[in-house]
Amino acid sequence: MVSSPSVSAETVRFERKRPDVYGDAHPKALLKAIHEDGEFLKPLENQHVASIDQFTPDMLLQLFRLAAKYESNPERFSTALQGKILISAFYEPSTRTRLSFESAWHRLGGDIMSITDRSSTGIAKGESLEDVAEMFNNYGDCVVLRDSNDASVHRMMNTLRIPIINAGNGIDEHPTQAMADLYTIFKWRPELIEKDLPAEQRIRIGIIGVPSKMRTVRSLLKIIAHFPEMVSEISIIHDKREREIFAAGQREALEAKGLTINTYTDMQDVLPELDVVYINAIAWIGDDYETFGNSFKLSKASPFKPDAIVLHPLARGDELATDLDGTPHNWYFSQARGAVFLRKALLTCMVQRAERVMDVI
Amino acid sequence: MVSSPSVSAETVRFERKRPDVYGDAHPKALLKAIHEDGEFLKPLENQHVASIDQFTPDMLLQLFRLAAKYESNPERFSTALQGKILISAFYEPSTRTRLSFESAWHRLGGDIMSITDRSSTGIAKGESLEDVAEMFNNYGDCVVLRDSNDASVHRMMNTLRIPIINAGNGIDEHPTQAMADLYTIFKWRPELIEKDLPAEQRIRIGIIGVPSKMRTVRSLLKIIAHFPEMVSEISIIHDKREREIFAAGQREALEAKGLTINTYTDMQDVLPELDVVYINAIAWIGDDYETFGNSFKLSKASPFKPDAIVLHPLARGDELATDLDGTPHNWYFSQARGAVFLRKALLTCMVQRAERVMDVI
Amino acid sequence: MVSSPSVSAETVRFERKRPDVYGDAHPKALLKAIHEDGEFLKPLENQHVASIDQFTPDMLLQLFRLAAKYESNPERFSTALQGKILISAFYEPSTRTRLSFESAWHRLGGDIMSITDRSSTGIAKGESLEDVAEMFNNYGDCVVLRDSNDASVHRMMNTLRIPIINAGNGIDEHPTQAMADLYTIFKWRPELIEKDLPAEQRIRIGIIGVPSKMRTVRSLLKIIAHFPEMVSEISIIHDKREREIFAAGQREALEAKGLTINTYTDMQDVLPELDVVYINAIAWIGDDYETFGNSFKLSKASPFKPDAIVLHPLARGDELATDLDGTPHNWYFSQARGAVFLRKALLTCMVQRAERVMDVI
């Protein structure tokens, strides 16, 4: 047994400042670009968040504005959720999304009760989801749920009298992740929110993933479809061997909203044309996960457009090389950071505390 | 893979208001019926809560009054437990009771540390319960413990210098559940607390369960025995095949306090005579549970007295049909809701904060 | 099934006052003995805490002074960490150390997010520790980590921009435990901090344990080596069959700092000469633990010096008999209690809140 080398004061020193390249995300620019109008947020006081389908563009823009306000003033509003209790129910393993929601709730001064192990819960006693929902009605003010069973959140919505956010249900959706993704894109280029955006300013978004199997991609495509004028094309890059790229009707529904979607199998060929490169390799199937697209790897050497940004919902594996972290393409760290502020905004509205943080009441 | 149907804003809308039939529980009526006298609560500042045996009728009535005060003013007193730490130790799986206690503590402004997995604790290192208790003395202000080993709470009481509440120990007791049950009955009919209650106003309580094996029933019978004048009869309804309905001496001790107890095997026959119908089907034996009385099911079609109320500690299975939920017999949801306020009252007294919430100090 | 004996109000009564013999630890005496100088604490605002190596004697004395200030005023400073979030990551099973840190953080008004089960985390998805650290940067203000893999904390330190405290890494170190141990010794005899301590006042410290395998002992030896003038000798008492008492270079490095170290195999022979008797029997190897020194047991009958004090990091097994608990030798309970105040002091400094609690700013 070797004695570990002496640890000096220098080796343990650290900096709090973020490296410049981590996509500073300019929340202030987005804050200025959107005019505050709290009316569009009011419906959120009585709605569960199950799917991107239920949102409107105006509601999303107001959420992004509030998120940008939070991100521009991270220390303020620390009592907005005082007295409110969040029930954080993650039946499917997660650290990232759970801590993101819990951090958001804590930063606003609320309290949290966590359920992280299905076997230690009443579910183990065979209790119905409807009864679990009625129980939650008595104990908290808001629920966040992740479950590999995609029907759970919908069943609970029938009985809940407090709001629930779907934090990932099976392979179906992950709405707040998609909101965080689009929030990041709009912070990067606020002009993209404009209704009459000149054609040459439209962006081409590449998605390296499988829309039929990844809930992050499913939700992302739906949210981009709320702002079809901002994209020239969605380029889906997939492994040649993938059969079912889209679920039945998925592509048609998106195209019906005005999106141009094309599919590709040669990433190197498409990459130089993309303004936003979104990549994800993990799909959660049941209680386990599969990795797709082993053939696609992004690294510093990939033929990116000079200004292109890379997004990834994380956790990442080999598909996103660490040598990209220190380059200006790295907006995936900014994406993760912004997700906390986006969730702060959504949670604030859902538990009827928006009036505490709006400029105009 | 089928794309899930579009989720519209209508499908995700929800109401916060409770349906009228959920036993509105009239906390204000009970609040008026009991005259406040904080002296009876003072002994709770230096007592663990292990069993219903240790309570007196006056102490219980004052606890119920404080619970009713909390239930009538759910947003008030939100700093009563500020600075106090609860150690929430659930070695036996539970969501319902754990979240009920944690919600109560959070609503009063306290902080919580949870232990939910026996294997991740010091117990795994073979540490004695007495040492675990001495450790808790240094870290918190109050302990709530659920353990399938019924002796654990008693062993810890020897060393603890902070109060502990037994949240269920093996098959022995579950005192706060029984308190919540009786609190519900008194909210339903406040006149039952009167010492000289006319005989015709006495109620007949039916218990569908096994007193020898269910801690909820054992504690419930003990607490009713503190107020023997309110019942005309306790009717125990059990499966014909059950041998040991009562533990040794259990029935005799209850009858010695003035309770009339009879046993029955034909539920349909007895049901029309009952004012309160209490049902429970799960008994926790060791780290597993058994279900008793499969032959007994309550539903909307059961021959209830028109004004009868149904109580169930939940979680429920088939023994309590969901079609009862929307009927005036449903007081089990109110029972669960009231349990949080009852626990708020008890916890407040035990950590010496009653003076912050009493009208007269 | 026997009905448990009736529980009376007397059997459940308890006292909050600690027994006199539990080493009252005189924090006030130490508070007076050390002159406050916050300058020595400033470096802690930008340092992870990985090892005792990185500390200086002056920094340690100022931490002990702050801990003594907290211990003398346990109800004060309850908002010092308001708005700060702790990420409590215990991948190796623990209750004692986790609750000690979490209690410290709660007492100062901060919020906590816990990760207690490796399998429910992102690590299960194969996420790198560097990425986990970048995630923590976005969610919290401080991390406490315990991991059986001793390299984890060092790997995370590379990417973290918030401070991390090593709460035990494999068999390597447990720095805050050693700080709590020395804090206890200085409270017991504050004169030991003096630079020109007369030789006859030096103490002889016995360590019953295995320096090569126990992280608590490794850190303790390092921290004593910061104050070599206070000890006449460190007496290591080990089982005859132990081969590798020290790790390579461990003994030499300590002796180079001025410590006199001798090893013994006969405990009964050495015990009457010891002023401080430190014992530990558990060494964590990987995800399991081994017990060493079954042959050594301390009890009331052991031949202690009359004024000798016994320290043990706890949890204990047979090696430390419970009949010692009620004797004046018992300073291990005081050691556990003081550890919370020591951690309060360290955490306060690391998240840049020392100015809220210092007398002189």
Question: What does the pLDDT look like over C167-214, one tens digit per residue?
Answer: 999 889 999 999 999 999 999 999 999 988 999 999 999 999 899 999
In A8-84 the beta strands, taken as DSSP E runs, fall at none
Single out the residue of B345, B314, B343, B342 nearest to residue B330, CA to CA. B314
> Which residues, listed in sequence order, are joined to residue B231 by a DSSP beta bridge?
B203
pLDDT of residue A3: 44
Q: Do C1 and B213 touch (CB under 8 A)?
A: yes
CA distance B179 to B146: 16
Chains that touch B (3 or more CB pairs under 8 A): A, C
**What number of other Cβ atoms are within 10 A of residue B75's Cβ?**
7
Which of C1, C8, C340 faces B244 most closely, judged by CB atoms? C1
Contact A283, A245 (CB under 8 A): no
Q: Which residues is A86 bridged to in the sheet?
A: A112, A142
pLDDT for B361 equals 63
Burial of A297 (C-beta count, 10 Å sphere; 0-12/13-18/19+): middle
Place of tokens 């309580």: B205
- Alpha carbon separation from B119 to A305, B88, B115, C285 (Å, rounded): 51, 15, 10, 17
- Shared domain for A116 and A257, answered yes or no, is no
Mean pLDDT value of segment C259-265: 97
Nearest to C46 among A14, A95, A322 (CB): A14
Q: How many CA atoms lie within 13 A of C93 on its CB side?
A: 20
Verify that C62 and C156 share a domain, yes or no: yes
pLDDT at A100: 97
> Mean pLDDT over residues B161-177, rounded?
94
Q: Which residues of B are less than 8 Å from C117 in CB distance?
A: 117, 120
Of C118, C153, C18, give the one whose Cα is nearest residue C74. Answer: C18
Cα separation, B155 vs A196, in Å, equals 73
Q: How many domains does chain C have?
A: 2
Per-residue pLDDT of B84-141, as tens digits, reads 999 999 988 788 999 999 999 999 999 999 998 666 555 555 789 999 999 999 999 9
C166 and C188 belong to one structural domain? no
Q: Provide the pLDDT for residue C328.
A: 94
| Position C331 in a domain | yes
The alpha helices in chain B, defined as continuous H runs, are 27-33, 57-72, 96-107, 129-139, 152-159, 175-188, 215-224, 250-256, 267-270, 332-350
Least confidently predicted of A115-119, A307-311, B203-207: A115-119
Lowest mean pLDDT among A14-18, B17-21, B209-213, B252-256: B17-21
How many helices (H) does chain C have, and how many strands (E)?
A: 10, 11
Closest Cα in chain B to C9? B54
Give the SS3 label for residue A148. coil
Task: Answer whether residue C1 is part of any domain.
Answer: no
Residues B342 and B282 in one domain: no
* Lookup result for tokens 């170290």: C261
Q: In what order do the strands lie in the sheet with B142-147?
A: B111-115, B85-90, B142-147, B164-169
- Contact between B98 and B106 under an 8 Å Cβ cutoff? The reply is no
CA distance A316 to chain C (A): 6
Statement: residue C326 has pLDDT above 90? yes
Do the Cβ atoms of C205 and C234 come closer than 8 Å?
Answer: yes
Find, among C192, A102, C109, A63, the residue nearest to B84 by Cα: C109
Residues A192, A110, single domain; the answer is no
Bridge partners, residue B88, by sequence? B114, B144
Contact B314/A at CB under 8 A: yes
Tell me whether residues C336 and B138 touch, CB distance under 8 A.
yes
Looking at per-residue pLDDT, the higher value among B283 and A182 belongs to: A182
Kindly give, in sequence order, each residue whose CB lies less than 8 Å from that of residue B301, ignoring residues fewer than 6 positions away.
none
Q: What is the pLDDT of residue B139?
A: 96
Mean of pLDDT over chain C: 91
Structural domain including C148 reads 9-173+338-356
Q: Quote the pTM value.
A: 0.94
Nearest-neighbour CA in chain A from B108: distance (Å): 9
Give yes or no: residues C136 and C236 share one domain. Answer: no
Residue C251: strand, helix, or coil: helix
Residues C19 and C155 in one domain: yes
| Contact: A120, B90; criterion CB under 8 Å | yes
Task: Note whether ipTM > 0.85 here.
Answer: yes
Query: pLDDT digit string (tens) for B284-308?
Result: 555 455 666 557 899 999 999 999 9
pLDDT score at B3: 44
**B323 interaction partners in chain A (CB closer than 8 Å):** none
Q: How far apart are CA A263 and CA A220, in angstroms?
A: 16
Task: Collect all residues of chain C within an 8 Å Cβ-Cβ radius of residue A322.
Answer: 128, 130
**pLDDT confidence of B272, banded at 50, 70, 90?**
very high
Mean pLDDT of B232-244: 92
Which residues of chain C have a CB within 8 Å of the CB of A339? 138
Question: Which residue is listed with tokens 């109320």?
Answer: B309
Mean pLDDT within C298-327: 95
pLDDT(A290) > 70: no
Q: Which residues contact B274 (CB under 8 A, 6 or more apart)?
A: B204, B205, B206, B235, B304, B305, B308
Q: Is C240 on the interface with A (CB under 8 A)?
A: no
Q: Is C340's CB within 8 Å of B161's CB?
A: no
CB within 8 Å: C95 and B122:
yes
Q: Residues 129 to 188 of C: which have CB under 8 A from any A CB?
A: 130-132, 134-140, 150, 157, 160-163, 171-173
Query: pLDDT higher for B43 or C284?
Result: B43
CA–CA separation, C218 vs A41, rounded Å?
57
Identify all chain A residues contacting B2, using CB atoms and an 8 Å cutoff: 247-249
Q: Of the candidates C55, C59, C61, C58, which has an alpha carbon nearest to the alpha carbon of residue C31?
A: C61
Q: How far is CA B169 from CA B181, B216, C4, C171, in A?
A: 18, 10, 12, 37
H or E element, residue A157: helix A152-159
Nearest to B103 among A85, A161, A171 (CB): A85
Chains in contact with A, where contact means 3 or more Cβ–Cβ distances below 8 Å, are B, C
> Which long-range contacts link C116-119 to residues 24+ away (Cβ below 8 Å)?
C116/B117, C116/B120, C116/C88, C116/C90, C117/A116, C117/A117, C117/B117, C117/B120, C118/C91, C119/A93
Task: Mark whether B182 and B318 lie in a shared domain.
Answer: yes
Query: Minimal CA–CA distance to A69: which of A361, A354, A276?
Result: A354
pLDDT of residue A2: 41
- At residue B2, does pLDDT exceed 50? no
- Average pLDDT taken over every residue of chain A: 91
Give me the residue from C119, C150, C161 closest to A93, CB to CB.
Answer: C119
Average pLDDT, chain B: 91
Residue by residue, DSSP assigns C32-81 as HHS---GGGGGGGGGB-B--GGG--HHHHHHHHHHHHHHHH-TTS-TTTT
Provide CB contacts within 8 A for B110, sequence distance 6+.
B81, B82, B83, B84, B85, B86, B347
DSSP string, B45-86: GGB-B--GGG--HHHHHHHHHHHHHHHH-TTS-TTTTTT-EE
* Residue A226 counted as domain residue: yes
pLDDT score at A284: 54
Q: What pLDDT sits at residue A239?
A: 87
**Closest Cβ–Cβ partner in C131, C138, C247 for A340:** C138
Tell me the two tokens of residue A153. Answer: 């959140």
| Chain A residues near residue C251 by CB distance under 8 angstroms | none
pLDDT for res A194: 94
A345 and A312, same structural domain? no
Residues of chain A with pLDDT > 90, as a percent, come to 78
Using pLDDT thresholds of 50, 70 and 90, give the confidence band for residue A266. very high
Domain co-membership, B134 together with B199:
no
* Chain C contacts in chain B segment 284-313 (CB below 8 A): none
The alpha carbon of residue C189 is apart from the nearest alpha carbon of chain A, in Å, by 29
Considering the domain boundaries, does residue B361 fall inside one?
Answer: no
Residue A124 and residue A259 in one domain? no
Do A65 and A208 share a domain, yes or no?
Answer: no
Q: Which amino acid is at C119?
A: S
What integer is the mean pLDDT of B275-290?
A: 73
Nearest-neighbour CA in chain B from A17: distance (Å): 31
DSSP state of C198: -
* Confidence at residue C101, expressed as pLDDT on a 0 to 100 scale: 98
> Given this model, what pLDDT does residue A1 score?
39
Beta-carbon separation of B120 and C95 below 8 A:
yes
Residue C128 lies in a domain: yes
Partner C contacted by A16 (CB < 8 A): yes
- Chain C's closest residue to A79, CA to CA, is C83
> Would you say residue A2 lies in a domain?
no
At C284, the pLDDT band (50, 70, 90 cuts) reads low
Contacts of C284 in chain B (CB under 8 A): none
Query: Rounded CA gap, C170 and C147, in Å?
Result: 6
Question: What value does the mean pLDDT take over residues B151-172?
Answer: 94
Query: pLDDT, tens digit, for every residue of C225-248?
Result: 999 999 999 999 998 888 899 999
With cut-offs at 50, 70 and 90, classify the pLDDT of residue B228: very high
Among B52, B120, B255, pick the best mutation site for testing chain C contact (most C Cβ within 10 A).
Answer: B120
pLDDT for the residue A123:
55
In a domain, A164, yes or no: yes
Answer yes or no: is pLDDT of C127 > 90: no
How many CB atoms are closer than 10 A to CB B264?
A: 15
Look at residue C2 and tell me whether its pLDDT is greater than 50. Answer: no
Q: Give the mean pLDDT of B22-30.
A: 77
Phi-psi region of B46 (alpha: psi -120 to 50; beta: other; left: phi over 0): alpha
Least confident of A104-118, B133-147, C120-134: C120-134
C264: domain CATH number? 3.40.50.1370
Residue B2 falls within a domain, yes or no? no
**Side chain identity at residue B81, one-letter code:** L
Phi and psi for C180 in degrees, rounded to 5? -65, -35
